[in-house]
Structure 1
Amino acid sequence: MAMDAGGGARDAGAWKIVLGAAVVIAVAAAFALDRLHALALFPVQAVRFEGDIVHVSDQALRSAVAPHLEGGLLFVDLAEIRGAVTALPWVSSASVWRVWPDGLRIRVDEHEPVARWGEGALLTAAGERFRPERRPAGLPALAGPDGSAARVLERFRTLGQRLGEIDAEPVAVGLDERRALRVTLEDGVVLRFGRDHFDVRLQRLIDAWPAINRYAGERSIAAVDTRYPNGLAVQWAPPADEQNNGGDPNR
């Protein structure tokens, strides 16, 4: 069979033309895209924040979003905006939507703290720590070594439920470096539980509490140590007159 050499050359030339046209189109498209970025097509004119926002200021939210609005609504990176908002200390999560032709809608969910944690941090119900500039007053104080937040929070919840049986409320719960548990009640009484047998010791305290109060009479309880195999040790607060003169009865 004879081959048409001229036809093959024509086909090769046609492919070169097609390829060249494709390159020109691609370059033109890239140039057009750059021009659209430069022109900021559909500039963002309005940003609306939604959600139960209490601790994050509107100024803080807008300052976080502003650097990411260049290029117009068509090209804003929603993931970048979401990341900038969730980076704010009080923000738990954020969702971002385009609102055509010129707006963004951003839903903000804040952390809900249940306690203070250590020096300067707050703790959520899920055991997540975050560190705002200022902490609200009135929250219980929890503390412990690194990695102990979940355990301390669990102990606090258990204490809150069980101590309600004796009309006592924990306001501070902490683990020391040896993982020994110490609790402070609303009236200032300190409870020492040690490292082990928490449930047994807590039940013993609850069972003995009515008797402790009867035995106390007019005295005030300063601390109760549950770290005994078969009993409790009660420390009494000094009488009011000794407290007023610094503890010296001869003063």
Structure 2
Amino acid sequence: MTTLGKIDIQGTDAGVFLDRVYANTFSTLPVGKVRYGLMLREDGIVMDDGTTARLGENEYVMTTTTANAVGVFRHLEFCRQCLWPDLDVQLISTTEAWAQFSVAGPNARTLLQRIVDQDISDAAFPYMACGNVTVCGGLRARLFRISFSGEMAYEIAVPTRYGDALAREMMAKGADLDVTPYGTEALGVMRVEKGHVAGNELNGQTTALNMGLGKMVSKKKDAIGMVLSQREELARGTGCGSSA
């Protein structure tokens, strides 16, 4: 997951900012939780998708697709500087600052319990949870309980220079669990089987409805692309929008 775009978004208006750039709502996301988000262009066509985690009251971490990491960051900076300069929000691209790994499968939690210093039981760290943790006796890290492939899975991130060491440690600690590395090709197949949006669908010609995500376009707020996503022919026969 290291190649995914990562953007730290902070400030007292960070939630308001995210509500305006995402089709669905993020200001109501509880601290310590992750939500899947859909971003539209001004013409209502899907720009990008990804997850955004709320690590603190005024602190969010957005992930973008690998291909759109730079483009989304530029888009957010344009919105921040030109559209809504009065908002208290700051952005920084941290894509290269974190090495991030997906740990998936029925033994994912068992392996990570040998690595993460904190309690990550199902009660303490449920599905779609996130948080700042430490690993291997004190190394700072970020943990997200999310999955590309629909199974028990987590994403764990450490500062980039420790990425190789963490990967080797997880392979060693998981030897008795038959741990095995898997790459983006396998990940791509599994996400398609699960029905998640794949990179080829974000080609600048698809709408939320095309991808079965029409319910993510909230009608309770305004956001970039909201009005034009409701164009009659663009939404014909499916009923665009919801109370998300």
Q: Normalising to structure 2: TM-score of the pair?
A: 0.25
Q: Would you tell me which structure has more helix in proportion to its own residues?
A: 1
Task: Compare CA radii of gyration and give the structure with the larger one.
Answer: 1
Q: Normalising to structure 1: TM-score of the pair?
A: 0.25
